[in-house]
């Protein structure tokens, strides 16, 4: 089947006179993966390049020892809770068509066996992958990045890399978190509404259904910012926010949190009066966004533990387990405290 | 239309759009609530209605009014001064400088106050730089060289903004920079207004008082000099005032295009090119345009549309319509 497709594609390529794409093949093993070029056998996929931040998260979990560097994180800074395995990785830049910061020449100089990208799969990203394969000959694996499919992403990418055992362990954690979240959604989550505050004044937000709030919505919580035709970020007005009166406000930025606490405008929100403003500060991986990768699984669990008191006592152990499995790092009690209760300048 | 009729129409429209902007919004405030809040017994209105009105809607409406008037005044002054109808308040790079300052502040993760300060300082610094460079090009026509230097320095700032966008985190900082560059009044607070309003008024005052003399700048420099005007001095005063106005506006509202460019043209069609009448007319029309577009921005959908998009979407077709009608006359 594979072979016929390749023949057909090559035939088409020949018809179009496109000698640029001689080795292009395309086959997808299942719903999560799209492969471009000759994807190497697991044993030969030793030098990996991550194309963007979500792929960074996926590969840090599955095969950090084979990563040549990270696309978007410079972990060389002050992150004592991450193991040296991670912090030693250089930041190489991302591969994303026009907005690439890793040049193709640099890419070739790194001699990778496989490029892996994770996120939205549409024609833009498919054609980007095709072009890179055509220009460099390096095979490219595009992994669909929907959070609800995390387990399948992990298992299938793990299979390509020959890291099945590790992938299975991670996939089971992902399944557990997602199943528990679905359970919570039915039990309580749907009664709650939330607003995800971004920007210096908290007046930018991810619209319902966007990947910026996907993680929170998996717990059943209703995103107050719903706009029919929009799926990204949008500015909102304070007036609208006062009308929405979300039960919880969630932000990843300390400066946004600080502003919400101190600004008189925000005091009219019952979530602020009742101190339901949650700061989930990045470390540097975000809890429910930035990047929109499998790192968000931990955010789902943390938010559920916040909302369900019966889980609170066990969350520390779960987070330490998550760190061990996904970040190969031992999270000490002190560092746990630091990540969960970030130090803020008192206003 | 006679001058008197124009004045009455403009004042009427301005009051109408002001009333519209104050009474329309996502949060339901009835006219009774509004009159109670403004003139009556404020304690009879519930607390959140009073917060919405005093902390959120009124500062925003006043900001739209002031910024619209200020950008239109600055645009009028610049178009007259540079004898060029394509000139907008950004011509000397003030918006580009403010954009570069704000983008840098967002990249550095500064608070809103920091972003505003960087934007304001960036705008002023760029215009100062343009003026300093202009001192070294004395052999050229001073007006032309200012415009050319403004374009060159503005392009540099544009490149700097693009560089920051490339470096910014695509999930957090980049969207904030984009929203800032598109402009908007959704984050205006009383504090913003009380900082920016005095600066805006200080900048508008000389433009208003010198509007008759502004006419002389449309003459060649030697003719204006022959009439006893110190052209160079007048030009500097106007540049400083218009820059102050634009930098203050941009620092709290982001880059709002079109108002400063298109409003003076609309008014020139209405009142002619005499700045004595043109400037007040432009200020009124600028205020009306921004009041109406901002009211739309905050009411059309649950989430807002960036103001810069709306002003262009409304200003440009209206302008084209005027141009076409004018051709036929």
In this complex, is the C-beta atom of A242 within 8 Å of any C-beta atom belonging to chain B? yes
The answer to whether the CB atoms of A204 and B169 lie below 8 A apart is no
pLDDT tens for each residue of B171-217: 888 999 999 999 999 989 899 999 999 999 999 999 999 999 989 88
Q: Check whether A309 has a pLDDT greater than 70.
A: yes
- Containing H/E element for A171? helix A164-187
CA separation, residue A46 to residues A105, A106, B236 (Å): 20, 18, 65
Region B252-258: mean pLDDT is 89
CA distance B133 to B65: 34
CATH superfamily for B3-23+51-328 is ABC transporter involved in vitamin B12 uptake, BtuC (1.10.3470.10)
% chain A with pLDDT above 90:
71
At residue A30, the pLDDT reads: 52
DSSP state, residue A207:
P
**Domain boundary assignment for chain A:** 2-163, 188-340
- Containing H/E element for A27? strand A26-27
Nearby residues of B47 by Cβ (< 8 Å), 6 or more positions away: A268
Under a CB-based contact definition with an 8 Å cutoff, are residues B266 and B322 in contact? yes
CA distance B304 to A237: 7
ipTM for the predicted complex: 0.83
Average pLDDT, chain B: 89
pLDDT grade, residue B326 (50/70/90)?
low
The answer to whether the CB atoms of A259 and B112 lie below 8 A apart is yes
The answer to whether the CB atoms of B302 and A286 lie below 8 A apart is no
Under a CB-based contact definition with an 8 Å cutoff, are residues B40 and A222 in contact? no
DSSP-derived pairing of the beta strands A33-36 and A140-144: antiparallel
At residue A344, the pLDDT reads: 56
A to B CB pairs, distance under 8 Å: 113
**A99 to chain B nearest CA, in Å?**
7
Q: Chain B window 113-142: which residues touch A at a Cβ cutoff of 8 Å?
A: 115
Report the range of poorest mean pLDDT among A25-34, A148-157, A321-330, B303-312.
Answer: A25-34
Q: Check whether A345 has a pLDDT greater than 60.
A: no
**Domain boundary assignment for chain B:** 3-23+51-328
Buried b / exposed e over B174-183, threshold 16 CB at 10 Å, is: bbbbbbbbbb
In this complex, is the C-beta atom of B23 within 8 Å of any C-beta atom belonging to chain A? no
Q: How many other C-beta atoms lie within 10 A of the C-beta of residue B118?
A: 22
Select the residue from A196, A233, A237 to test the B interface by mutation, using most B Cβ atoms within 10 A.
Answer: A237
At residue A7, the pLDDT reads: 56
Average pLDDT, chain A: 88
Select the residue from A205, A226, A238 to test the B interface by mutation, using most B Cβ atoms within 10 A.
Answer: A238
At residue A31, the pLDDT reads: 67
Under a CB-based contact definition with an 8 Å cutoff, are residues A92 and A111 in contact? no
Of B51, B110, B112, the CB nearest to A268: B51
CA B271 to chain centre: 21
Region A330-339: mean pLDDT is 94
pLDDT tens for each residue of A215-238: 999 999 999 999 877 788 999 999
Residues of B in contact with A205 (CB under 8 A): 303
**B191 to chain A nearest CA, in Å?**
10
pTM of the model: 0.86
At residue B127, the pLDDT reads: 93
User: Residue A186, by phi and psi: left (phi above 0), alpha (psi -120 to 50) or beta?
Assistant: alpha
Nearby residues of A310 by Cβ (< 8 Å), 6 or more positions away: none
CA distance A214 to A250: 13
- What is the CATH architecture assignment of A188-340? 3-Layer(aba) Sandwich (3.40)
CATH superfamily for A2-163 is Nitrogenase molybdenum iron protein domain (3.40.50.1980)
The answer to whether the CB atoms of B111 and A258 lie below 8 A apart is yes
């Amino acid at each position: 089947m594979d072979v016929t497709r390749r023949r057909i594609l090559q035939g088409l390529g020949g018809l179009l006179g496109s000698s640029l794409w001689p080795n292009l093949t395309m086959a997808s093993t299942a719903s999560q993966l799209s492969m471009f070029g000759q994807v190497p056998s697991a044993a030969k996929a030793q030098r990996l390049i991550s194309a963007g931040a979500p792929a960074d998260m996926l590969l840090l979990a599955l095969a950090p020892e084979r990563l040549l560097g990270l696309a978007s994180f410079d972990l060389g800074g002050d992150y004592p809770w991450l193991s040296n395995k991670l912090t030693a990785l250089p930041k190489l830049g991302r591969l994303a068509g026009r907005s690439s910061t890793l040049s193709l020449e640099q890419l070739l100089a790194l001699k990778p066996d496989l490029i892996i990208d994770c996120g939205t799969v549409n024609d833009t990203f498919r054609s980007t992958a095709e072009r890179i394969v055509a220009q460099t000959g390096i095979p490219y694996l595009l992994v669909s990045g929907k959070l609800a499919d995390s387990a399948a992403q992990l298992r299938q990418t793990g299979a390509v890399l020959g890291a099945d055992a590790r992938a299975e362990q991670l996939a089971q954690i992902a399944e557990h978190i997602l199943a528990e979240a679905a359970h919570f959604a039915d039990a309580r989550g749907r009664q709650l509404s939330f607003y995800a505050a971004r920007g210096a004044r908290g007046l930018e937000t991810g619209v319902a259904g966007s990947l910026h709030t996907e993680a929170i919505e998996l717990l059943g919580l209703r995103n107050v910012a719903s706009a029919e035709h929009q799926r990204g970020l949008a500015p909102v007005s304070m007036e609208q926010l006062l009308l929405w009166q979300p039960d919880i406000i969630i932000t990843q930025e300390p400066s946004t949190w600080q502003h919400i606490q101190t600004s008189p405008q925000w005091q009219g929100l019952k979530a602020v009066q009742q101190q339901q403003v949650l700061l989930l500060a990045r470390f540097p991986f975000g809890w429910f966004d930035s990047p929109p990768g499998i790192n968000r699984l931990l955010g789902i669990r943390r938010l559920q533990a916040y909302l369900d008191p019966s889980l609170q006592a066990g969350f520390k152990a779960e987070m330490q387990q998550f760190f061990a499995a996904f970040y190969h790092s031992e999270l000490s009690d002190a560092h746990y405290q630091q990540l969960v209760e970030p130090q803020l300048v008192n206003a | 239309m006679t001058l008197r009729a124009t004045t009455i129409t403009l004042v009427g429209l301005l009051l109408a759009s002001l009333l519209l902007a104050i009474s329309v919004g996502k949060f339901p405030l009835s006219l009774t609530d509004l009159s109670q809040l403004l003139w009556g017994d404020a304690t009879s209105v519930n607390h959140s209605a009073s917060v919405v009105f005093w902390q959120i809607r009124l500062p925003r409406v006043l900001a739209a009014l002031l910024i619209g008037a200020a950008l239109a005044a600055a645009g009028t002054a610049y178009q007259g001064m540079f004898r060029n109808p394509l000139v907008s308040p950004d011509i000397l790079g003030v918006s580009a400088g403010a954009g570069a300052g704000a983008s840098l502040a967002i990249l550095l993760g500064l608070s809103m106050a920091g972003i505003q300060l960087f934007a304001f300082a960036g705008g002023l610094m760029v215009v100062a730089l343009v003026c300093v460079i202009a001192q070294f090009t004395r052999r050229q026509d001073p007006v032309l060289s200012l415009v050319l230097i403004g374009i060159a320095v503005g392009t540099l700032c544009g490149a700097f903004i693009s560089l920051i966008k490339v470096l910014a985190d695509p999930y957090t900082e980049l969207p904030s920079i984009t929203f800032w560059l598109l402009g908007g009044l959704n984050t205006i607070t009383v504090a913003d207004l009380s900082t920016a309003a005095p600066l805006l008024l200080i900048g508008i005052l000389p433009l208003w008082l010198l509007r008759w003399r502004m006419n002389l700048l449309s003459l060649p420099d030697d003719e204006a000099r022959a009439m006893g005007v110190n052209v160079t001095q007048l030009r500097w005063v106007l540049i400083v005032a218009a820059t102050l106005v634009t930098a203050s506006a941009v620092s709290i509202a982001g880059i709002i295009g079109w108002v400063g460019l298109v409003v003076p043209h609309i008014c020139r069609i209405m009142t002619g090119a005499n700045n004595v009448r043109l400037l007040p007319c432009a200020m009124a029309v600028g205020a009306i345009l921004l009041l109406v577009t901002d009211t739309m921005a905050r009411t059309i959908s649950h989430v807002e549309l960036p103001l810069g998009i709306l002003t262009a979407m409304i200003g440009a077709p209206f302008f084209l319509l005027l141009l076409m009608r004018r051709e036929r006359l």
